[in-house]
């Protein structure tokens, strides 16, 4: 879900686990996602179980609300693989001026404690070959942080339902990553 409205739709209509990411969250959005009322002490059912933040600053900003919620959320961080495959700059985290995701050099000296996962989203209706190149760039740039993580999200933009999408290649690339980095999901 990329908004409170999408999270609510997923929660109410589809059930199950709901994940959320947005380039920016307001405090009101975060309170609603976490089931916290703006009125102190009031709580409702949270809309999400997993949230990915767009920056370390965003993660730090919402630490008090995450703690207040009492939820056992799984949190992650969107990273910029610094490898462009997208044809549409608006959706390309690697386009000049983009603020989608954190570059590796911005993580220098930062602790990822409490952020067990990294999310890479830079494909826009691309095939498995583009993902393979992106993953190679990600592994090179973020090698230092890979062992600290228990999960990775490489979704976003794969045109997996398109006729001719190379699913076998996708599986081989993902299995290769898992072999190189045992213990991650």
Read off the pLDDT of residues 40-89 as tens digits, 9 standing for 90 and up. 556 788 888 899 999 999 999 999 999 999 988 899 999 999 998 877 77
Q: What is the pLDDT of residues 87-132, one digit of tens each?
A: 777 778 888 888 889 999 999 888 888 899 999 988 888 899 999 9
What tokens does 174 get?
């993902």
- Contact by Cβ (8 Å): 128, 135: no
Query: In this structure, what DSSP letter does residue 93 have?
Result: T
- Contact by Cβ (8 Å): 112, 149: yes
Residues paired with residue 73 on neighbouring β-strands, in sequence order: none
């Amino acid at each position: 879900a990329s908004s409170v409205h999408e999270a609510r739709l997923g929660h109410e209509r589809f059930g199950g686990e709901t994940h959320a990411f947005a380039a920016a969250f307001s405090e009101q959005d975060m309170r609603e996602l976490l089931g916290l009322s703006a009125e102190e002490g009031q709580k409702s059912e949270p809309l999400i179980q997993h949230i990915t933040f767009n920056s370390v600053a965003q993660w730090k900003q919402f630490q008090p609300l995450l703690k207040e919620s009492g939820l056992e959320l799984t949190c992650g961080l969107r990273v910029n693989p610094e490898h462009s495959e997208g044809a549409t700059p608006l959706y390309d985290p690697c386009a000049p001026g983009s603020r989608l995701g954190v570059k590796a050099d911005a993580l220098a000296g930062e602790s990822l404690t409490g952020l067990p996962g990294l999310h890479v989203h830079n494909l826009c209706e691309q095939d498995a070959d583009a993902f393979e190149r992106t993953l190679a760039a990600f592994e090179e740039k973020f090698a230092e942080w890979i062992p600290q993580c228990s999960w990775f999200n490489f979704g976003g933009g794969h045109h997996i339902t398109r006729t001719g999408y190379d699913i076998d290649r996708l599986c081989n690339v993902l299995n290769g990553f898992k072999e190189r980095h045992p213990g991650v999901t």
